Structure 1
Amino acid sequence: MTHLTRCPLNPARARRLTGSPQRLHAAVAAAFPPPPSGQATGHRVLWRLDESGHQPTLLILSPTPPDLTHLIEQAGWPRLATADAPGWETRPYAPLLDHLHTGMRLRFRLTANPTRALHRPGRRGLRTALTAPADQIQWLLDRAAPAGFTVPVDERISPAGHHVRVSATRALRFPRTTDSGARRDVHLHTATYDGLLDVTDPDVLRRTLTDGIGHGKAYGCGLLTLARFAA
């Protein structure tokens, strides 16, 4: 079972979290108990921070419902929370997944970490961020078919001639502590895409929705969300 959770955050109290993907990652991870020893966790937890105007909203896709009590206490409206309205809303994701069919047109949003691997003879490829909008859009188009969808063409919409635009970008730098205890700086360039998609392979798209797209998933990248499209 998969669940999608929406949690509005208090912009006056959430700045410490929203300004650091590392802290927000830790807050999301704390919403779930550790799995029993030796037991698989199912698909990974995906999350994304949407910021519309001055209202940040945290989206979480997870195999089990999260408990965001700690997040509401830190960055929500804790005095307004009740048992019936704890400050977040979780819904089963199965109705959307089951509804997908070939040829269906939907709106989508995705925050991703578009990169290109620069190959070096005899060495591991160096992953480099794509920062030009045209390159970022092409990155997404290259991954659409293997992900179970296509982006319809419209030459009026974007430089690539498709129904997609990069609506926001962020260049982030934050410290990360490795398993060995060393501290390293993480550099992350993100692009938020808004557009239309046509479903070409429902089964593959279902896997994409639960597995995510691209790198940086621990830091709020990869979660593709869909909405109805009214022509």
Structure 2
Amino acid sequence: MTHLTRCPLNPARARSLTGSPQRLHAAVAAAFPPPPGGQTTRHRVLWRLEEKEHQPTLLILSPTPPDLTHLVEQAGWPRLATPDAPGWDTRPYTPLLERLHSGMRLHFRLTANPTRAVHRPGQRGVRTALTTPADQIQWLLDRAAPAGFTIPVDERIPSGAPRVTVSATRALRFPRTTDSGARRDVHLRTATYDGLLDVVDPDALRRTLTDGIGRGKAYGCGLLTVARDTA
């Protein structure tokens, strides 16, 4: 079973979290118990921070429902929480995954970390962020087929441009403490995509929706969400 959770955050209390993907990653990880039986790895948990009209909302995709009590107490509206409305909403995502079929058209949103490897003579490839909308969109188009979908073109215009836009970008810099205790800065550039996709390989798309796309998943990248196209 897969679950999708939405947790609205109090913008006045959540600034220390929304400004640091590292802190938000830790808050998401704390919403799940340690793996059972001495296992050292957790199931994949994807998350994304959305901000609309200065209202941040945290989305979490996970195999088990999270307990976000600590997050509501720290960055939500704890006095308004009740047993029936604890401050977040978790719903099954598996029914949507099971309804996917070839030829289906869906709206999608994705925040990703589009990069490419720049090779120099005698050196290993260095990951470099893609900064222009054209390069960022091409990065997604290159990954669409293995991910189980295509992005249709807009037949209403002569150029036939793909029906996807980069609706937001962010350049983030935040500190991270390594396992050895060393402190280093992380530089992360993200792009948020909004558009339409056509399902080509339902099984591949199911894997993409649960495993994510690209790098930076620990920092809120890679979660692809879809909804029915009602047009």
Q: Structure 2 length as normaliser, TM-score?
A: 0.96
CA distance in structure 1 between the aligned counterparts of 2:52 and 2:145, rounded to whole angstroms: 29
Identity of aligned residues (%): 86
CA distance in structure 1 between the aligned counterparts of 2:112 and 2:134, rounded to whole angstroms: 15
Query: How big is the shift at 1:84?
Result: 0.5
Any residues of structure 2 matched to 1:177-196 within 5 Å, and which? 177-196=177-196
Matched residue, 2:106: 106
Query: How big is the shift at 1:39?
Result: 3.2
| Cα contact 1:43–1:210 (8 A) shared by 2 | no
CA distance in structure 1 between the aligned counterparts of 2:76 and 2:153, rounded to whole angstroms: 41
Quickly say closer, same or farther: Cα 1:217–1:156, change in 2 above 3 A.
farther
Matched residue, 2:124: 124
| Cα contact 2:212–2:223 (8 A) shared by 1 | yes
Question: CA deviation digits over 1:177-225, x for unaligned, max 9?
Answer: 1111111110000000000000000000000000000000000000000
Question: CA deviation digits over 1:128-179, x for unaligned, max 9?
Answer: 000001100000000001100000001668x881100000000000111111
CA distance in structure 2 between the aligned counterparts of 1:160 and 1:175, rounded to whole angstroms: 42
Any residues of structure 2 matched to 1:1-231 within 5 Å, and which? 1-39=1-39, 41=41, 43-154=43-154, 161-231=161-231
CA distance in structure 2 between the aligned counterparts of 1:155 and 1:113, rounded to whole angstroms: 29
CA distance in structure 1 between the aligned counterparts of 2:37 and 2:17, rounded to whole angstroms: 30
CA distance in structure 1 between the aligned counterparts of 2:206 and 2:121, rounded to whole angstroms: 37
Quickly say closer, same or farther: Cα 1:212–1:105, change in 2 above 3 A.
same
Query: How big is the shift at 1:230?
Result: 1.5
Cα RMSD after superposing both structures: 1.5
One-letter code aligned to 2:207: R
Query: How big is the shift at 1:122?
Result: 4.2
One-letter code aligned to 2:6: R
The DSSP-based 3-state class of the residue aligned with 2:31 is: coil
CA distance in structure 1 between the aligned counterparts of 2:12 and 2:84, rounded to whole angstroms: 24
| Number of residue pairs aligned between Structure 1 and Structure 2 | 230
| Cα contact 1:8–1:87 (8 A) shared by 2 | yes
Segments of 5+ residues of structure 2 without an aligned counterpart are: none
CA distance in structure 2 between the aligned counterparts of 1:9 and 1:225, rounded to whole angstroms: 20
Q: Structure 1 length as normaliser, TM-score?
A: 0.96
One-letter code aligned to 2:48: R
| Cα contact 2:45–2:62 (8 A) shared by 1 | yes
Segments of 5+ residues of structure 1 without an aligned counterpart are: none
